[in-house]
Amino acid sequence: MRNYLEKLMNKQNLSLDEMKDATTQCFRDTVSDSEIAALLIGLRAKGETADEIAGIVEVIRRESLQATNQIPNVMDNCGTGGDGSNSFNISTTAAFIIAGAGVTVAKHGNRSISSKTGSADVLEHLGISLSLSKEQVEEILAENNIAFLFAPHVHPKIKRFMKVRKDLRIPTIFNLIGPLTNPVELNTQLLGVNKRDVLPMMAESLGKLGRKRAIVINGAGYMDEASLAGDNHISLLDQGKITAFTIHPSDVDLPVYSNDQIRGGDAKENAEILLSVLKGNPGPHLDTALLNAGLGLFANGTAASVKDGVEMARESVVSGAAIEKLQRLISYSKKIPSEVI
């Protein structure tokens, strides 16, 4: 560990293998909390690279109790958070629309950190279990195309990292990697980030982690979701090649709304918004969810274009397929003994 810390102090990047080794050591009692803090601070001060991000993610996924590659053609859609927009749970809502369009979604998420309500908060309010076992996740994904994986439940071994993060009270590499640590082996991904300058680096990281296709997006107003407020900046990863482009709502026949019009509230209010969207009630919440679901379907390769993806997303809602995915997940959760987390 000392050699790695000295490299970081000298502003030298760690290779992917070096980052994997450093992270592996952090899971052992021989490494102190101070050394973990030094590693996180050193990476932050130098600036993280795609290799360093991929390295730490590979080890965290390996150490997860629920790591699995048993589900074919599965994706996730999630943002890093931290954009300060206090929007409703956009990616969570869009996940059910994507699943309703026939794509398998392993939705990875957490409780509220920077926003009022995290994905876990709103789904728990709706009656969805946060404590699915690996076998239950695989079963419900096969049956219903969507399951929720609660980050603290699937990553119990990273408590030391979380303690150090809390003590440091500054942004670290963990502010970037949360959505990448999904323990399910993903083929494709839609990833939202709140910083525009990291788009290509995060796309490169996804490629190193084995994603065949992925979209990394920074929305209008620097949201970590696609926004209807203006141009959305995108890096598309497709078979190892990364290209950049922008999407404006008018490009996909959607209206323009300000980001203030998609603000959310507490878990109860955001659950009501989610249900309203899946029932097809028109307005900025529905249109925002359709844009994000359309991008997810394009990222997955199911849709040939973002515009086609938006139309597929609309059909998922209108047909009732999207809300059926939610209802089935709630019904499945009711059969599982509750566990307080």
Q: What is the pLDDT along the chain (341 residues), one digit of tens a residue?
A: 999 999 999 999 999 999 999 999 999 989 999 999 999 999 999 999 999 999 999 999 999 978 877 788 999 998 888 777 888 999 999 999 999 999 999 999 888 765 567 889 999 999 999 998 999 999 999 999 999 999 989 998 998 999 999 999 999 999 999 899 999 999 999 999 999 999 999 999 999 999 999 999 999 999 999 999 999 999 999 999 999 999 999 999 999 999 999 998 899 999 999 999 999 999 999 999 999 999 999 999 999 999 999 999 999 999 999 999 999 999 999 887 655 44
How would you list the strands of the sheet with 232-238, edge to edge?
146-150, 104-109, 74-79, 188-192, 213-218, 232-238, 241-247
Which pLDDT belongs to residue 341?
A: 46
| Residue 247 annotated in ligand binding | no
87 marked as binding residue: yes
83 marked among binding-site residues: yes
**Is position 112 annotated in a ligand binding site?**
yes
Q: What is the rounded distance in angstroms from the CA atom of residue 67 to the CA atom of residue 63?
A: 8
85 appears as a binding residue in the annotation: no
Residue 91 labeled ligand binder: yes
**276 in a labelled binding site:** no
* Cα(53)–Cα(208) distance, integer angstroms: 9
In the block, tokens 């963990």 appear at: 174
- 117 is known to lie in a ligand binding site: no
What is the pLDDT, as a whole number, of residue 66?
80
Residue 340 pLDDT: 45
Question: Among candidates 312, 287, 289, 286, which has minimal Cα distance to 300?
Answer: 312
Site of tokens 């080890």: 59
Strand partners, 87: 263
**Cα radius of gyration (the chain):** 19
Cβ–Cβ < 8 Å for 257, 284: yes
233 marked as part of a ligand binding site: no
Strand partners, 263: 87
